[in-house]
Chains A and B, each alone.
Chain A
Amino acid sequence: MEKYAVEMLNITKKFGSLIANDNVNLKVKKGEIHAILGENGAGKSTLMSILFGLIQPDSGIIKINGEEVKIENPNVANKLKIGMVHQHFKLVERFNVVENIVLGYETINKKGFVDYENPKKKIIELSHRYHLNVDPEALISNITVGMQQRVEILKMLYRDADILIFDEPTAVLTPQEIEELMGIIRNFASEGKSIIIITHKLNEIKMLANKCSILRRGKYMGTIDVNKTSVEQMAELMVGRKVDFNVEKKAPKIGDTILEVENIVVKKDNNKNHVNGVSFDVKEGEIVVIAGIEGNGQSQLIKAITGLIPFDSGKIKLINEDVTKSTIRHKIELGMSHIPEDRQKDGLILDYSLQENFISCEYYQEKFQTKGFLKFEAISKYADNLIEKFDVRSSNGKYSIVRGMSGGNQQKAIIAREVSRKGKLLIAVQPTRGLDVGAIEYVHKKMVQVRDSKVAVLVVSLELDEVMSIADRILVMYEGKIVLETTPKEITMEEIGLYMAGSTKKDLGGKDGKK
Chain B
Amino acid sequence: MSIFYNILQSVLVSMVPLLIVALGGMFSERGGVTNIALEGIMIMGAFSSAVVLILFIDKMPMQLLFIIAMLVGGLSGLLYSFLHAYAAISMKSNQVISATALNLAIAPLAAVLIKAVRKVDSTWLEWGGKTFIIKEVPLLSKIPFIGDIFFKNVFISFYIGIAILIISSIILFKTKFGLRLRACGENPHAADSLGVNIYKVRYAGVLISGFLAGLGGAIFLITINGTAFRAEATAVSGFGFLALAVLIFGNWNPKRIIFAAVFFSFFRTIDANFTLLNGLINNAIPVNFRNLFKMVPYIATLILLIFTSKNSGAPAADGQVYDPGQR
Contacts and interface: CB of A to CB of B under 8 A. Distances in A.
A114 B187 contact: no
Interface in B185-199: 186-187, 189-196
B174 interface: yes
A510 interface: no
- Most A CB within 10 A of own CB, among B175, B194, B325: B194
B46 interface: no
Nearest to B324: A54
Nearest to B317: A92
Interface stretch (A32-40, A95-103, A264-272): A95-103
Nearest to B176: A106
A93 B174 CA distance: 19
A120 interface: no
Given A74-B194, A104-B195, A105-B194, A93 B186 contact: yes
Interface string B213-233: 000000000000000000000
A73 B195 contact: yes
Interface string A51-70: 00010000000000000000
A480 B176 CA distance: 46
A440 B174 CA distance: 49
A92 B176 contact: no
Contacts of B179: 99, 102-103, 106, 114
A321 to B, nearest CB: 35
B187 A74 contact: no
Contacts of A103: 179-180, 183, 190-191, 194, 196
A113 B316 contact: no
B195 A113 contact: no
Contacts of A155: 194
Q: Which 10 A-B pairs have the closest CB atoms?
A: A104-B194, A75-B195, A90-B190, A113-B174, A90-B193, A92-B186, A106-B176, A92-B187, A74-B195, A104-B195
B195 A95 contact: no
A184 B316 CA distance: 32
A95 B186 contact: yes
Nearest to B190: A90
Contacts of A112: 175
B327 interface: yes
A72 B189 CA distance: 17
A105 B190 CA distance: 13
Contacts of B288: none
A88 B327 contact: yes
B282 interface: no
B326 interface: yes
- Most A CB within 10 A of own CB, among B170, B182, B193: B193
Given A103-B180, A106-B176, A403-B326, A93 B195 contact: no
B256 to A, nearest CB: 16
A500 B316 CA distance: 37
A113 B189 CA distance: 24
Contacts of B190: 90-92, 100, 103
Nearest to A91: B190
A108 interface: yes
A114 B171 CA distance: 10
Nearest to A112: B175
B187 A93 contact: yes
Contacts of B170: 113
A288 to B, nearest CB: 33
Interface of A: 54, 73-75, 78, 84, 86, 88, 90-95, 99-100, 102-106, 108, 111-114, 155, 403-404
Contacts of B325: 404
A54 B194 CA distance: 10
Interface of B: 170, 174-176, 179-180, 182-183, 186-187, 189-196, 316, 324-327
Contacts of A84: 193
Contacts of B195: 73-75, 78, 104-105
A92 B183 contact: yes
A97 to B, nearest CB: 13
B326 A94 contact: no
A27 B138 CA distance: 76
Contacts of A108: 176
Contacts of A74: 192-195
Contacts of A404: 325
15 contacts: A54-B324, A74-B192, A86-B193, A88-B189, A90-B189, A90-B190, A92-B187, A99-B179, A103-B179, A103-B194, A106-B176, A113-B174, A114-B175, A155-B194, A403-B326
B90 to A, nearest CB: 18
A135 B144 CA distance: 49
A84 to B, nearest CB: 8
Contacts of B324: 54
A95 B183 contact: yes
A93 B316 contact: yes
A124 B39 CA distance: 48
B308 to A, nearest CB: 15
- Most B CB within 10 A of own CB, among A86, A103, A108, A113: A103
A88 B190 CA distance: 10
A92 B188 CA distance: 9
Given A78-B195, A92-B190, 19 more contacts: A54-B324, A74-B192, A74-B194, A88-B189, A88-B327, A92-B186, A94-B186, A95-B182, A99-B179, A100-B190, A102-B179, A104-B180, A104-B191, A104-B195, A105-B194, A111-B174, A112-B175, A114-B174, A114-B176
Contacts of A403: 326-327
A93 B183 CA distance: 10
B156 to A, nearest CB: 27
B194 A90 contact: yes
A54 B179 CA distance: 22
A54 B193 CA distance: 8
Contacts of A95: 182-183, 186
Nearest to B195: A75
A113 B175 contact: yes
A90 B189 CA distance: 6
A503 to B, nearest CB: 38
A94 B83 CA distance: 30
B2 to A, nearest CB: 44
B20 to A, nearest CB: 23
Nearest to B323: A403
Nearest to A87: B327
A94 B316 contact: yes
- Most B CB within 10 A of own CB, among A100, A104, A112: A104
A13 to B, nearest CB: 13
A70 B274 CA distance: 69
A176 to B, nearest CB: 27
A30 to B, nearest CB: 25
Nearest to A351: B326
Contacts of A114: 174-176, 179
Contacts of B174: 111, 113-114
Contacts of B191: 92, 103-104
B185 to A, nearest CB: 9
A102 B194 CA distance: 9
Contacts of B316: 93-94
Contacts of A78: 195
A104 B190 CA distance: 10
